A and B are shown apart, each in its own frame.
Chain A
Amino acid sequence: MHPAYSVILFTTASGAGYGLLALGSLLALLGVIQPERWLGFALFGIAFALITLGLLSSTFHLGRPERAWRAFSQWRTSWLSREGIIAAFTYAPAGLFAFGWVIFGNISPPWNLAGWITCICAIVTVWCTGMIYASLKTIPNWHHPLIAPLYLLLAIASGSVLLNMVLHLFRQPAEIAGYIAIVSLTAGCLVKLLYWRSIDGAPGTHTAEQATGLGTIGKVRPLEPPHAQPNYVMREMGFAVARKHAVRLRLLAVLFGFTLPIATTVLVLTLNASVGLSILGSVTAFTSMAIGMVIERWLFFAEARHVVTLYYGAQTV
């Protein structure tokens, strides 16, 4: 699948934003984080900025962005519609909770209700994003039981690395955020490796013979293409990344997305470093993770093969 930058930015940025929103709210509700005014301002500011940036960039992907509101109508069947609705709705409880926290320094009842709703909505939104891809039977690499959990896990991992960084910047106790980051990054890495193993080991079950129905005659191969230059279908669905590049990029994704952030977070936690070094460590962890997530997401698209390529020369998908 063609890796569109707007969609890569959307899924990574809004994933981190919703992760930060969910974790920040949760830890505050549980009393782990103190509802300090400027901390709240920064947390919600960053989360809203990332989410809004993501949502805006996803509308750039649309042919008719001015009609985007119509996407709220088909929640009964469409995961994209569900995602749009919950994503937009999340602003309401999150805004209320932020209001209580930042203006009144108060997250006890009734403000806490908004906090819990924010937490749930953020998680459901990310799940819907994952389901948009996981529900597509036409792309076997995505139609996989690990895709929606991976989206959620990676959103939590990137949210916790971000939270860890913000807490360090505000000189707030960040141990718990650090632990959550290490656990969720490790889990995310393991599930991602498992997922890669699973898709590499799965032989394509759809064949050019099934696509054309000509298998009764014999092996099917294209003789004359239907058009001289790539059409929309080829441009959008025919993208393929060379195997050796994919292997290298997977290594980089693991290195930047998981290994480095885990290592720096562990160092910051265990070394009892000075404030300056802790901040440097947590910022490094976040920067590295952001690079890694973009590579991971690029690969998610670039490695996904669509069954329509069977009409254009692919033997199996």
Chain B
Amino acid sequence: MTMLPEKTDKKLGLVIDLDICVGCHACVTSCKEWNTSGYSAPLTDFNPYGADPHGTWLNRVHTYEAGEGHDGRTVHFPRSCLHCEEPACVTVCPTGASYKREEDGIVLVNPDTCIGCKLCSWACPYGAREYDYAEGVMKKCTLCVDRIYNETIPKEDRIPACVRACPTSARHFGDLGDPKSDVSKLVAKREGYDLMPEMGYKPVNKYLPPRPARDGRATTDTPTRPNAQQGKEPSSGTTSTADKFFAWADTVLSR
């Protein structure tokens, strides 16, 4: 049913920390590995070892450069379905194959009723839906619905495969509708943000911004070289013994 639930009991989603993601693509491969035999199975690949390999993947990691020179950063940027609260990908679907679950807010595609019209992928601003050319149906991140409630696997594995695989803990999973949850607190503390908020889709997944660079210019608690101290001229090549002494004394005393 493509009518959106008025509200969902939970807002399950991911929080992705752009400060510590190292762009290793472990979440990408583990997502593929789990889901190619999970709810969305199979995730078909074409020509995997040929010149033009392509296939269906539910999670992708981009790498961007942002800013210039000293302030420039390299940012690894994982991108998967954000399980939006107002997802037009669901409302445009003519068959009801796309739907948003009332109990937890997960957005899913029913592979048995999807006709492969692709309109939902046009309606998604985030490129989160990938059509499976072999199966003729749309695939997308399931938030690992077949893991998180799965009582046949060990408790510590009942989180999305991408979260479980991340070696740096850059991905977090939880209920973003509950302000007391760990993920909500993390988002509040780190000022997590929405992608393209102007689209009005109200993504549930949040991104944590890279922290500002830590160096002499950005922070004040790093040791500074004596001759770079306030009010002092940079030392020239002809430093007097007295200057050297004061510099030495300064360093010792300020320890």
Contact = CB atoms under 8 A, between A and B. Distances in A.
A and B form one complex = yes
Contact of A236 (B28, B118, B199): B118
Contacts of B117: 61-63, 71, 80
Interface in B1-49: 1-3, 18, 23, 28
A172 interface: no
A222 B210 CA distance: 16
Given A73-B95, A236-B118, 10 more contacts: A63-B135, A68-B115, A70-B94, A70-B115, A78-B94, A136-B92, A212-B75, A214-B210, A215-B66, A219-B67
B62 A225 contact: yes
A126 B225 CA distance: 74
A225 B127 CA distance: 14
B137 interface: yes
A233 B121 contact: yes
- Residue among A62, A205, A308 facing the most chain B CB atoms (10 A cut-off): A308
B130 A73 contact: no
Interface string A281-317: 0000000000000000000000000111001000000
B178 to A, nearest CB: 23
Nearest to B90: A77
Contacts of A84: 94
A311 B62 contact: yes
B122 A138 contact: yes
A139 to B, nearest CB: 7
A168 to B, nearest CB: 39
Interface stretch (B52-60, B144-152, B246-254): B52-60
Interface residues on B, range: 35 or more
Given A68-B115, A77-B91, A223-B74, A236 B121 contact: yes
Interface stretch (B161-169, B181-189, B190-198): B190-198
Given A64-B115, A214-B75, A307 B125 contact: yes
A232 B136 contact: no
Interface in A228-267: 228-233, 235-237
Contact of A62 (B1, B54, B88, B116): B116
Interface of A: 1, 61-65, 67-68, 70-74, 76-81, 84, 132, 135-139, 205-206, 210-233, 235-237, 306-308, 311
Interface string B56-99: 11001111111110011111010100000000101111111100
B124 A78 contact: no
Given A210-B196, A232-B56, A307-B196, A138 B1 contact: no
A137 B92 CA distance: 11
Given A213-B209, A221-B65, A63 B116 contact: yes
B53 A228 contact: yes
A223 B92 CA distance: 34
A212 B133 CA distance: 28
Given A73-B96, A137-B199, A64 B60 contact: no
Contacts of B54: 227, 229-232, 235
B198 A210 contact: yes
22 contacts: A62-B116, A63-B117, A68-B115, A71-B94, A73-B94, A74-B96, A78-B119, A139-B122, A210-B196, A211-B196, A212-B195, A217-B66, A217-B210, A219-B67, A221-B66, A222-B64, A224-B23, A231-B54, A232-B54, A237-B121, A307-B199, A308-B124
B227 interface: no
B131 A220 contact: no
Given A71-B95, A218-B72, A62 B136 contact: yes
Contacts of A217: 66-67, 71-73, 75, 210
